[in-house]
Structure 1
Amino acid sequence: MAATRNDQATASGSWSLRQLPDMDEAQFNQWQTLLEHRTGITLVAERKSFLETNLGIRMREIGCGSYQAYYEKVVSSPDAIVEWSTLVDRLTVQETRFFRDPDACRLVSDYVLTRPREVLRRRPLEAWSVGCSSGEEPYTLAMLLNESMEQLRLPPLFGVTGSDISKPAIERAQRGLFNARKLLGMDDALKSRYFRPAEQNSVKIIAGIRERVCFTRLNVLDLKHAPMHGMNIIFCQNLLIYFRRWRRREIVKHLAERLAPGGLLVLGQGELTDWQPPELQRVPSEKVLAWIRRQSDEE
């Protein structure tokens, strides 16, 4: 019996190291269509190797021998929903970091510092990070808002929402725990103020900031049903590049509808061109792509 188990282990080990066959065009089109239908993300032909690599890693983890068998598992097996959630996390979570876009961060700070103080005293600021991945961006927004409120000598009346399609990413973000390398390049004063050492060379966001940030799973294809309304700041950077041009405009249209009068919408540079709805005013900047929602005379 022991010899049989060893033979099985050897066979299993050799299978896990075996190279998967190349994905043919029909298989790639099948996966391409599924991903765009469910997430809106367009996977161009140049990223076929990216898809093969990530599918292959997951297939080896669960012992699945062909792209077609794994496709059927994701689409129609009893655990399809769980497996799809795992796969989406592998295909969509991108590298991010704190204070990733310094120019956009300065714009947010300036936006808060120039708002009427009586408005900031009367109504909490609401910010939203769309496609928040593992949480660096929404926590960055929370730190920026906290710093601005302190500069204005006002109580920290604000909240930040982070949303992402990936459930595992949201769960990581909620923990507020990060590898210490994530803080490289950050201002030392901000590091010491907002982070505390944790286990195994990691750091944790302080409770005062973590408590002001909430996270939710949200597919941007479902924005018209999103409960967020009256947002003062909407941050959506490095997300639209994965969508077709017509869908980018559709996504941004729904985001603009969720801005409060006078609210700020910030996108990534170059992610949208020739878009100027009448209800928004472009922020005059060569370094940041952003708009302010116009206020009517009675607002």
Structure 2
Amino acid sequence: MQPSGAWALKPLAEMSPTEFRDWQALLEERTGVVINEQRRAFLQTNLSARMRELDVADYSSYYRQVTDGPRGAVEWSTLLDRLTVQETRFFRHRPSFDVLQRYLRARLVTDEQAQPLALWSVGCSSGEEPYSMAICAAEVLRELESARQFGVTGTDISLSALSKAREAVYGARKLEQMDTDLCERYFVAQEDGRCKVVPDLAARVCVARLNVLELAKAPQAGMDVIFCQNLLIYFRRWRRREILNRLAERLAPGGMLVVGVGEVVGWQHPELEPVADERVLAFTRKG
């Protein structure tokens, strides 16, 4: 017999202050993500759900399990998927994609180089953002009748989210903010009512695992566009600036960085200039 949804979501017990601090420290040390007091219930619920599956009775025992060598590393990866997958959809913040299309249009008109455009979605979750970026690029190239190539890279820490991104099949609700003609051009309806990204567009998008605390090791460089939205809110202020500084270094001259509105305040970089659009937080690299 399956437990009811309400039972499954009920935490096993209250976390002690010590247990909560231990889990907070582990998450921040390994991912940079800060779980504050307001998100304590979220942490308890997700830990409890996994602990029930494993028949582990208390938070301290489970903590020991996920920090126990190679076996712990496997369990940590499973748990991380529960704690980091974010709800998202196509064209989630429309002004960001308006700015992207405007930028790509200007870039293609003035840039005589022929190398493919390189775009990067940092914290891509289940793929809605990188595919939205790819649709923008494809639309601009179509409009300008340009033969220029492009590629979009999506990176995330969650293996299950990346698996969904590779599958590229989405429920109709995820496409609600898209124009009908774009849905028809870039998706194929499936028998179960979901929609699959067309092969030509899917071939332009690749996804890979990356912990943003390890950006220094990331192979991406000379990027024309970087999106980093709805990710920095989970980090401490100093860490947000550190991440943005790393991303700024990965931009090509003239490249654009788009950040979630309100996710960072007062950050500046000597090589970057703000984009003059009050609806977005975006910067272009000088040169």
Which TM-score bucket, shorter chain as reference?
A: over 0.9
Larger Rg: 1
- Is the alpha carbon distance of 1:238 and 1:120 closer, same or farther for their aligned partners in structure 2, counting shifts above 3 Å? farther
Cα deviation for residue 116 of structure 1 reads: 4.5
1:169 corresponds to 2:161: yes
For 1:90 and 1:169, locate their aligned partners in 2 and report how far apart those are by CA, in whole Å: 10
* Corresponding residue number in structure 2 for 1:33: 25
* Corresponding residue number in structure 1 for 2:269: 277
1:192 corresponds to 2:168: no
Of 61-70 and 142-151, the range deviating more from structure 2: 61-70
Q: Which amino acid in structure 1 is aligned with residue 41 of structure 2?
A: S
For 2:85 and 2:286, locate their aligned partners in 1 and report how far apart those are by CA, in whole Å: 33
For 1:186 and 1:18, locate their aligned partners in 2 and report how far apart those are by CA, in whole Å: 36
1:237-256 equivalences under 5 Å are 237-256=229-248
* Corresponding residue number in structure 2 for 1:3: none
Structure 2 counterpart SS, 1:262: strand
For 1:17 and 1:43, locate their aligned partners in 2 and report how far apart those are by CA, in whole Å: 19
Q: What's the TM-score, normalizing by structure 1? A: 0.91
For 1:52 and 1:162, locate their aligned partners in 2 and report how far apart those are by CA, in whole Å: 29
* Corresponding residue number in structure 2 for 1:99: 91
* Corresponding residue number in structure 2 for 1:6: none
Tell whether the 8 Å contact from 2:115 to 2:148 is kept in structure 1 after alignment: no
* Corresponding residue number in structure 2 for 1:290: 282
How many residue pairs were aligned?
283
Tell whether the 8 Å contact from 1:150 to 1:156 is kept in structure 2 after alignment: no
Q: Which amino acid in structure 1 is aligned with residue 175 of structure 2?
A: L
- Is the alpha carbon distance of 1:230 and 1:81 closer, same or farther for their aligned partners in structure 2, counting shifts above 3 Å? same
Tell whether the 8 Å contact from 2:123 to 2:157 is kept in structure 1 after alignment: yes
Cα deviation for residue 78 of structure 1 reads: 4.9
1:115 corresponds to 2:119: no
Deviations 1:173-201 (A, max 9, x none): 11111112211232100111110012422
Tell whether the 8 Å contact from 2:91 to 2:177 is kept in structure 1 after alignment: no
Cα deviation for residue 275 of structure 1 reads: 1.4
- Is the alpha carbon distance of 1:17 and 1:88 closer, same or farther for their aligned partners in structure 2, counting shifts above 3 Å? closer
Gaps (5+ residues) in structure 1? Answer: 1-8
For 2:10 and 2:132, locate their aligned partners in 1 and report how far apart those are by CA, in whole Å: 43
Tell whether the 8 Å contact from 1:120 to 1:157 is kept in structure 2 after alignment: no
- Is the alpha carbon distance of 1:52 and 1:28 closer, same or farther for their aligned partners in structure 2, counting shifts above 3 Å? same
1:50 corresponds to 2:39: no
For 1:112 and 1:17, locate their aligned partners in 2 and report how far apart those are by CA, in whole Å: 45
For 1:193 and 1:226, locate their aligned partners in 2 and report how far apart those are by CA, in whole Å: 33
Tell whether the 8 Å contact from 2:90 to 2:177 is kept in structure 1 after alignment: no
* Corresponding residue number in structure 2 for 1:65: 57
Q: Which amino acid in structure 1 is aligned with residue 285 of structure 2?
A: R
For 1:222 and 1:17, locate their aligned partners in 2 and report how far apart those are by CA, in whole Å: 33
- Is the alpha carbon distance of 1:19 and 1:237 closer, same or farther for their aligned partners in structure 2, counting shifts above 3 Å? closer
Q: What's the TM-score, normalizing by structure 2? A: 0.94
Structure 1 counterpart SS, 2:20: helix
Task: From 122, 125, 128, give the equivalent of 1:133.
Answer: 125
CA RMSD of aligned residues (A): 1.8
- Is the alpha carbon distance of 1:106 and 1:29 closer, same or farther for their aligned partners in structure 2, counting shifts above 3 Å? same
Identity of aligned residues (%): 51
Deviations 1:84-114 (A, max 9, x none): 1111111111110001111010000000111
